[in-house]
Amino acid sequence: MVTRRVDLRSDTVTKPTEAMRAAMAHAEVDDDVLGYDPSAAHLESEMARIMGKEAALFVPSGTMANLICVLTHCQIRGSEVILGDYSHIHIYENGGISTIGGVHPRTVKNNDDGTMDIDLIEEAIRDPNFDICFPTTRLICLENSHAHSGGRCLSAEYTDQVGELAKKHGLKLHIDGARIFNASVALGVPVHRLVKAADSVTACLSKGLGAPAGTIIAGSKTFIAKARILRKTLGGGMRQVGVLCAAAMVAVEENVGKLESDHRKAKILAEGLNNIKGLKVDPTTVETNIVYFDILKDVCITEVELLKNLEEHGIHAMAEGPRKIRFVIHHQISESDVQYTLSCIQKALNSLKNIAN
């Protein structure tokens, strides 16, 4: 029986550390829905400072954070939001902006690096004064790092350009920054600089940072006051939430510094995978902690079979599509786990007749 477990399904799978558990046990708390929880207030003010915004709000998840932000910017039903065709908000959030908010998504093609061409964004902006059949565009959404492109990072300059475009047309800019700390570390640019042009930004605390739950929304004081009301409407008001916020504060203090090492391990993994005959990944596109790789067509193993084989060795991951697998590195994956994973994959492929050396 294999006792080793290497969980590469996502960076959301981390277990709270001893320091987080201790902080939870001793957190000073009160009723945050009635107005004030000291541990929540502390986390929110620290995160607002780090993210360079006037105020911040702790919410249960990245999905709720994006929903609250889009709905706060687009309070009139039938507003239109421009976002990437492979953005998390569009693909993986149950269409909540439409079903709950009555907001219409207008997608623009995401390039391989997670950007959208600025001229295509501008072309997509619509105004019913021009054509009565059009909805009113009110918001542009970016995602940094961009999950579906394999954790690629949007530069501060690119984000500024989109911000200028938004301003020129009287629109707001939201950044889904679920992994904005990964982008910041990879680019060597502080978070507050990366999101300077944004009217709102999210940052997940329970992904690479390893907190048990929660996402931060940051923006102006007025924006956050409206977001707080919407959080309550959506059922996201939490009473003694300081227990979670105390753990999240430790996550920020403990784990931002570990992201660089996560990225280094992801690069080693990508290079190792690319050296295995029958697999393909371009390591130069691995900028943060996500690695996608392809199983070449002439290899007679499917992604489902390979994942099953790896599970027998205690390695867990997810398929990203036909012949495509995703590995996500986090601070509870060691360099030895990376080497173990590579050797298990090599063994699995060696056992196939058609590519044995």
Ligand X SMILES: Cc1ncc(COP(=O)(O)O)c(C=O)c1O
Q: Which residues bind ligand X (CB under 6 A)?
A: 61-63, 66, 88, 143, 147, 176, 178, 204, 215
Element (H, E) at 328: strand 324-328
Q: Which is nearer to ligand X, 79 or 215 (CB)?
A: 215
Q: Which is nearer to ligand X, 62 or 278 (CB)?
A: 62
Minimum gap (Å) between residue 93 Cβ and ligand X: 7
Q: Which is nearer to ligand X, 65 or 121 (CB)?
A: 65
Query: What's the rounded Cα separation, in Å, for the pair 350 and 190?
Result: 44
- What are the backbone dihedrals phi and psi of residue 82, each rounded to the nearest 5 degrees, phi first? -95, 125
Residue whose C-beta lies closest to ligand X: 62
Query: What's the rounded Cα separation, in Å, for the pair 224 and 258?
Result: 29
Alpha carbon 23 to its chain centroid, in Å, reads 25
Query: What's the rounded Cα separation, in Å, for the pair 262 and 291?
Result: 11
Query: What's the rounded Cα separation, in Å, for the pair 59 and 231?
Result: 7
Query: What's the rounded Cα separation, in Å, for the pair 241 and 261?
Result: 30
Q: Which is nearer to ligand X, 177 or 278 (CB)?
A: 177
Minimum gap (Å) between residue 146 Cβ and ligand X: 7
Q: Which is nearer to ligand X, 61 or 289 (CB)?
A: 61
Q: Which is nearer to ligand X, 202 or 313 (CB)?
A: 202
- Residue-wise over 156-195: b if at least 16 C-beta within 10 A, else e? bebbbebbebbeeeebbbbbbbbbbbbbbbbbebebbebb
Minimum gap (Å) between residue 62 Cβ and ligand X: 2
Minimum gap (Å) between residue 59 Cβ and ligand X: 9
Minimum gap (Å) between residue 144 Cβ and ligand X: 9
Minimum gap (Å) between residue 235 Cβ and ligand X: 14
Q: Which is nearer to ligand X, 125 or 230 (CB)?
A: 230
Which structure tokens are listed for 47?
């995160």
Minimum gap (Å) between residue 8 Cβ and ligand X: 14
Amino acid occupying residue 169: H
Contact (Cβ atoms closer than 8 angstroms) between residue 34 and residue 63: no
Minimum gap (Å) between residue 91 Cβ and ligand X: 10
Contact (Cβ atoms closer than 8 angstroms) between residue 92 and residue 143: no
Burial of 145 (0-12, 13-18, 19+ CB in 10 A): buried
Q: Which is nearer to ligand X, 178 or 310 (CB)?
A: 178
| CA-wise closest residue to 151 among 178, 121, 174 | 178
